Amino acid sequence: MTQTPSDELDEAQSSQDAQATASADFPVLAVGTTVHERYEITQVISESTDQHVYSVTDHQGYQHCWNCGSEQNSEGDEFCIDCGAELQNAVYTMHEYPAAKSSDSDADTFHGTIVNTFVEQGRTYAVEQAHAAVNAFPNGVHLLAASDSDAGDVRRSEPNEDSTLALVLQRVHESQAFPVGVFIVADGLGGHDNGQEASRMAINIIAERMVRDLLAAPLASEKAGETVEEASEDSLATLLQSTIEDANSAICQVNQRDKTDMGSTITGFMVVGDFAYILNVGDSRTYMVRAGQIYQLTTDHSLVGQLVAGGLIQPDDVYTHPQRSQIFRSLGDKPNVQVDIFKQQLHPGDILLSCSDGLWEMVRNPQIESILNNAPDPQTACTQLLETANTNGGEDNVSAVVVFVH
């Protein structure tokens, strides 16, 4: 059948009439309207015959924390008792559906997380929180740090060749905490000339450079009234890389001058805001405990590490293999040192540990995990890790730096 122009006009008119009827049956709520005695409409984002979308402010944020999802707060609470986020006037997107349609239609696509649904006056509502709105650290990042080192029971009469560094500047401004910190473990190579001097040099050079360029430089700029730009990821990684290269060059120069072969492994991390920049040269390790589970973040630059990676030995064999002390990267070995550096996003509750091989060879990962999960503070964790290493044999110098992230 051929459709005439008048037929098309009739269909168009019918469609317009239907839309008008639907609009009358499903009117858009005005800005300022409060729904569910809780959500105040601040903007109409879009409207159609089957869905209206609004931007709303939640005036009962205590019922559901926008940041951590806690529902343990009470009416009148201004801040979440679990994460510290401000509970008043959180902003959400609210979807409104007419009586004939529900929010679970296959046609609906949500870009965030649905935090509440309810029905009021025959209409269905879904309250959505955009993923980008979630801030893991609503009041900034707080760090608790500690370090400790022990010669180990077997080598008690010899110099402790390990050195550690825990350097942190934490400022709170306008209720926002922003930490900058550097945490390092350096293990002077046993059997080489003056291993303790190599690790001490590495720590001192890193500390001096980081105090000058990472900590003091922005403070001086602020004092001079200059605008301090936030450091980029590339600039921070470059600073860390060049600092380790400075330490390596200094040790190499001493070796060349004095005809020695001292050296050191090094591992650790630099924290700026809610990111950690992990570094490693050698077989000292950096771990992270997240949600109670331990993860080894660094890769051992050792013969046994390569054998494990190649599937030639099992991971547990690294603790007993006769060549487990052979490493192929260290500070002081070559003028050009290859440094592993990578970025790690931090979450509330994370625990970071850097340690020498004297710790991880004596204390297996499950035991490290248990100690870190149960210690009330970083200093207690360090003490318990060192004590456990000695209880399990104490065959080498043992050092640890522990940081709790809140």
Instruction: Output the CA angle 303-309-310, nearest 5 degrees.
Output: 90
Q: How far apart are CA 355 and CA 267, in angstroms?
A: 8
Confidence band (pLDDT; 50, 70, 90) for 66? Answer: confident
% of the chain surpassing 90 pLDDT: 67
**pLDDT(165) > 60:** yes
- The architecture CATH gives domain 5-133: 2-Layer Sandwich (3.30)
Q: How far apart are CA 11 and CA 86, in angstroms?
A: 53
Confidence band (pLDDT; 50, 70, 90) for 222? Answer: confident
Residue 105 pLDDT:
42
**pLDDT(252) > 70:** yes
Q: How far apart are CA 282 and CA 195, in angstroms?
A: 14
Average pLDDT over residues 190-209: 89
163 - beta bridge partners?
186
Q: How far apart are CA 152 and CA 403, in angstroms?
A: 22
| Strand pairing category for 52-58 and 34-35 | unpaired
φ/ψ of 37, rounded to 5, equals 55, 30
**pLDDT(404) > 70:** yes
For the ranges 11-25, 52-66, 222-236, the lowest mean pLDDT is seen at 11-25
Exposed, middle or buried: residue 402 (CB in 10 Å: 0-12, 13-18, 19+)? buried
For the ranges 82-96, 129-143, 318-332, 380-394, the lowest mean pLDDT is seen at 129-143
**pLDDT(131) > 50:** yes
Report yes or no: 318 and 304 within 8 Å, Cβ to Cβ. yes
Confidence band (pLDDT; 50, 70, 90) for 192? Answer: low
| Average predicted confidence (pLDDT) for the chain | 89
More confident residue, 310 or 352: 352
Q: How far apart are CA 274 and CA 139, in angstroms?
A: 11
More confident residue, 176 or 150: 150
CA 91 to each of CA 78, 118, 140: distance values in angstroms, whole numbers, following the listed order? 15, 17, 20
**pLDDT(329) > 90:** yes
Report yes or no: 186 and 264 within 8 Å, Cβ to Cβ. yes
Q: How far apart are CA 300 and CA 99, in angstroms?
A: 62
Exposed, middle or buried: residue 355 (CB in 10 Å: 0-12, 13-18, 19+)? buried
Report pLDDT digits (tens) over 137-154.
989 999 999 999 999 999
* Domain spans in the chain, listed from the N-terminal domain onward: 5-133, 143-405
User: What is the CB neighbour count within 10 angstroms for residue 123?
Assistant: 16
Residue 107 pLDDT:
46
190 - beta bridge partners?
none
**pLDDT(293) > 50:** yes
Report pLDDT digits (tens) over 39-63.
999 999 999 988 999 999 999 999 9
**pLDDT(106) > 60:** no
Contacting residues for 135 by C-beta, under 8 A, at least 6 apart: 67, 85
For the ranges 154-158, 219-223, 257-261, 323-327, the lowest mean pLDDT is seen at 323-327
**Alpha helix stretches (DSSP H) within 211-289:** 217-223, 233-258
Average pLDDT over residues 375-403: 98
Closest by alpha carbon to 288, among 301, 272, 269, 305? 269
**pLDDT(8) > 50:** no
184 - beta bridge partners?
165, 268
Residue 19 pLDDT:
47
Q: How far apart are CA 278 and CA 343, in angstroms?
A: 6
**Alpha helix stretches (DSSP H) within 282-403:** 303-309, 357-360, 365-374, 378-391
As a 3-state breakdown, the chain gives helix, strand, coil percent values, each rounded to 5, of 30, 30, 40
Average pLDDT over residues 71-83: 82
One-character DSSP codes across 68-109: T------TT-SB-TTT--B-TTEEEEEEEE-TT--TT-TT--
Closest by alpha carbon to 289, among 355, 367, 383, 353? 353
Give the CATH number of domain 143-405.
3.60.40.10
Q: How far apart are CA 318 and CA 41, in angstroms?
A: 62
Residue 15 pLDDT:
45
Residue 10 pLDDT:
53
Q: What pTM, to 2 d.p., does this model score?
A: 0.69
Q: How far apart are the first and last CA of the chain?
A: 72
Q: How far apart are CA 291 and CA 350, in angstroms?
A: 7
For the ranges 110-124, 141-155, 194-208, 273-287, the lowest mean pLDDT is seen at 110-124
